[in-house]
Structure formats: structure tokens, C-alpha cells
Structure 1
Amino acid sequence: MASPILEVRGTDVFYGASQILFGIDLSVGRGQTMALLGRNGAGKSTTFKAIAGIAPPRRGQVMLSGTSLAGKAPYLVARAGVGYVPEDRQVFPEHTVEDNLIVGAKAGPRGDRHWTTERIYEVFPILAGMRRRMAGRLSGGEQQMLTIARTLMGNPDILLLDEPSEGLAPLIVQAIGALIRQLREMGVTILIAEQNMHFCLGVATHAAVIDKGQVVYSDTIEALRGDDAVRQRYLAV
């Protein structure tokens, strides 16, 4: 396995008195595209919120490049190198596409600025033609691309994509998949939370399966593709 950039160890998360995650263990290697797969309510989004500091773990560790993120506020987690794209996109609707990108711009944790508006427009040509359009007037798929692009403007070490295919038309899902494969080829480390297994089989290099707040499987995407028992038990609808 590639050297781990993100490690989640023995992590428990509660919402009030209700425990949602039970000793989550997850490791993402540098340059990998890891799919965190599971049915609705399995704990995928809560895992992302635990990593991002939005739902702080009660027990366990979240490590990024060997540095603990435990107890850090979400803005400090972002500064440390975690780029989080939530499932509800959250663009600034009354601002232009370019304004949304500029709002997200910051140096990475080592001061690097690999992602600029110019590079974004090269990788996301659809946004280049919409740079003056209000973000609230974009389609759902266009907003999804804008949110991913805005997060990349923060030059993160790892990109968390929460349900990137949810609610989108099949053609747009294909475009999002092509974008993720392009980012993977560029060396971007990506963790995707999805219940759409078929989407992930086409974009991920590795997979972990979460069920009832616990990681029950972790291997390469090819191993998951060939494991009918795991797919039927945990991912079949």
C-alpha cells in the first residue's frame, strides 16, 4: 500500500446520546482514490464529518500525514490539508462562479498554490465559460463541479467527496466520474463516500465498506469487484 496520508483509528462518534460510529478504522494511501461504500445511514457522512472536525470523535484518532487532527476546529482541519465537499454542495448562490473560486483560494499546508483559477479553468473547462454566471443559476451538476473546484482552490492534501453522484442525471454522473479519474491521474488523493457502487467501480482504486457504523471490509476495488458475497451482503439494494 502507498504510504498512508489519512488514518482513522478506533474512532467513535456520538450525536448526543446516540452512538453513530463504532471504532472506525480507515487508511487512505497517498495518490489513492478510496471509495467508502455503504447503504444509506451506514455512517459514511458521519465519518467524513469526523475527519473534517464537524462531528468530533469522542474516542480514537484522526491523523493526516502523521499529525493528529483530534479536537481541532473545522477551519484548522482545512488549513491542515483536508478539503471537504459536502453532499449538499453549498455554493454561494448570489456570487459568480469566479467569486466562489476566489473565496476558496488559500495556500496548502506547506505554502503551495498548485491550484489557481487558471488551472481550474483548464481542468474544468465548463466553468471557464460560466465564470461570470451567478452560482445559484447553475444546474445541480454544474454546482457539484464548482464545489469540487472551489475546494481544490484551497490546495488540500486530500479531497473528501460526500455522495458526488447523488441526485444527478446519468450523463452528469459520467462527467463527474471522468473528472475524478482525471484528478486521480494528476495525483490527487481522494476519499469518496457513496452508496452508488457501480459509480465507484469505475473511478476508485480502493474500497472500504461501512455497515452500521463499522468498517467491515477494505481492499482494492478489483478485489471488491470479484467478491460477490461482500457486495450482496452489504451493498445490494
Structure 2
Amino acid sequence: MTQAMLEVKGIDVFYGASQILFGVDLTVEKGQTMALLGRNGAGKSTTFKAIAGIAPPRRGEINLAGVTVSGRKPYRIARAGIGYVPEDRQVFPEHSIEDNLVIGTKKGPNGEDYWTLERVYEAFPILAGMRHRMAGRLSGGEQQMLTIARTLMGNPEILLLDEPSEGLAPIIVQAIGDLIRRLRDMGATILLAEQNMHFCLGIATHATVVDKGQIVYRDTIEGLRANDAIKQRYLAI
């Protein structure tokens, strides 16, 4: 029997008086890589911020491994096991790669310490070779890898990746894709928000499409690949 790692149940999210999400439902099972797809402004980042506690839902519920986390402060949600990588690749620019990784170090909610410096450097060899370089001197793609690696150092139950391919050169996008595939194959549970459907087709196991703040489609990634009507209506640029 599969285990639901993350359950988002009917959440409504507002920015001031403006409602952004309307009854959003989303389930990610343990070991899945779920792509949350939609055009710019569809509600992907707001969904992530709601899960992370940065934009708390006004209605609905968010559960992590069967435990309700909605209503908690963001730092308590992080401690519960949600690792959030925002789209703007925030690093500590005046600190080295290794300092950034050490800053993010903590055990998982049940004492897990799978992700250590040694294991992160094994998964991210490009960072290992530059461990003493200041993070502010890294390229956009290198900073993206660092933010993912730093989040993994917190041993999360689920990894939220918000637009990891945005603004990166094609060769770097390919490297980020290879990294996410490796994490998937290692058994990580990943929720990936993207506009770039083609990036997700070779990475995700399942897909959910959001449009105008509402979920409009759910299926396996193979089902989405074969559904030209959904791709044209909600994902074509």
C-alpha cells in the first residue's frame, strides 16, 4: 500500500483581499516525483508557499506523513520535514559553499541523518571541487545546485523545488535534470513546480496541472505525454 507523504486538502489562499488558490487538492506519495505544471501566474509558487507556511491557507488542510502541519510557523514546518527550495536561489553570498551547506545541517524529523557533507559532495561533485568558493561568485546554475544541496542537508521528508530550470542555460538545465533524476532514483520524494513541461517529461513520475488557482488535471507523466488536448489548453506557451 502506498503512503501519502504530502496531502493538500482543499486549500484557499489569499494575498490581502485577492484569492489566489481555490480549493487546491494535491497528493504526493512516498518516492514519487510529482510535477506541478502551469503557466506563469497559475498558482504554482503560491501552492509551495502555502505548503511551507509562508502564505498560510485561509481554508483547508496540509498534512505531512499523516500529521497536520498547516497553521504552524514556517520554521516548524521545515523541522517537520518539508524542504523548500524557492525560485530565487537564495544563498549566503559572503560565505563559502561548505559554510552554506553547514548552515543548513539538521537531522530529519525522526532523527534521520542520511544527508551529510560527504554524501552531498558525492551527489554534487561540482560543489565538492569548489567547496571553499564564495557562494556569491557562483553561476546561476551552481547556485541552484547549492540551494538544493543545502536543503537536502536538512534531511527533509519531501523536497519542494520551485522552478529549478528557470533562467538557466540549456546545458545547465540538463545538469539540473540529471541531478533530480538521481535524487528520484535514490528514493527521494519530490514536488517540482515548473512551466517547462518538456523538462518535467523526462524527470517526473506523475503530473498535476494548475490553472487560475485551481487543479484541472492529474495523471501519470505518461498520461500527460499522451494528452495533447491538456497540453495545448493549459501548458502551451
For the criterion TM > 0.5, the same-fold answer is yes
Within 5 A, what are the aligned runs for 1:24-173?
Answer: 24-173=24-173
3-state SS of the aligned residue for 2:56? coil
Tell me how far apart the structure 2 counterparts of residues 11 and 204 of structure 1 sit (CA, whole Å). 24
Within 5 A, what are the aligned runs for 1:173-192?
Answer: 173-192=173-192
Tell me the equivalent position of 1:210.
Answer: 210
Task: Give the deviation of 1:70 after TM superposition.
Answer: 1.5
Relative to the length of structure 2, the TM-score reads 0.99
Tell me the equivalent position of 1:23.
Answer: 23
Deviations 1:138-175 (A, max 9, x none): 00000000000000000000000000000000000000
3-state SS of the aligned residue for 1:14? strand
Segments of structure 1 that go 5 or more residues without pairing to the other structure are none
3-state SS of the aligned residue for 1:232? helix
Tell me how far apart the structure 2 counterparts of residues 43 and 205 of structure 1 sit (CA, whole Å). 21
Tell me how far apart the structure 1 counterparts of residues 187 and 227 of structure 2 sit (CA, whole Å). 27
Tell me how far apart the structure 2 counterparts of residues 160 and 142 of structure 1 sit (CA, whole Å). 18
Aligned residues: 237
Deviations 1:88-131 (A, max 9, x none): 01000000000000000000000110000000000000000110
Q: CA RMSD in A?
A: 0.6
Task: Give the deviation of 1:223 after TM superposition.
Answer: 0.2
The code of the aligned residue for 1:89 comes to R
The code of the aligned residue for 2:51 comes to I
Task: Give the deviation of 1:6 after TM superposition.
Answer: 0.2
3-state SS of the aligned residue for 1:156? coil
The code of the aligned residue for 2:191 comes to L
3-state SS of the aligned residue for 1:155? coil
The code of the aligned residue for 2:47 comes to T
Which stretches of structure 1, 4 residues or longer, exceed 3 Å deviation after superposition? Answer: none
The code of the aligned residue for 1:188 comes to A
Deviations 1:21-50 (A, max 9, x none): 000000001000000000000000000000
Task: Give the deviation of 1:3 after TM superposition.
Answer: 1.8
3-state SS of the aligned residue for 1:75? helix
Task: Give the deviation of 1:2 after TM superposition.
Answer: 3.0
Same amino acid, percent of matched pairs: 77
Tell me how far apart the structure 2 counterparts of residues 3 and 235 of structure 1 sit (CA, whole Å). 29
Tell me how far apart the structure 1 counterparts of residues 72 and 81 of structure 2 sit (CA, whole Å). 13
3-state SS of the aligned residue for 1:49? helix
3-state SS of the aligned residue for 1:115? coil
Segments of structure 2 that go 5 or more residues without pairing to the other structure are none
Relative to the length of structure 1, the TM-score reads 0.99
Tell me the equivalent position of 1:233.
Answer: 233
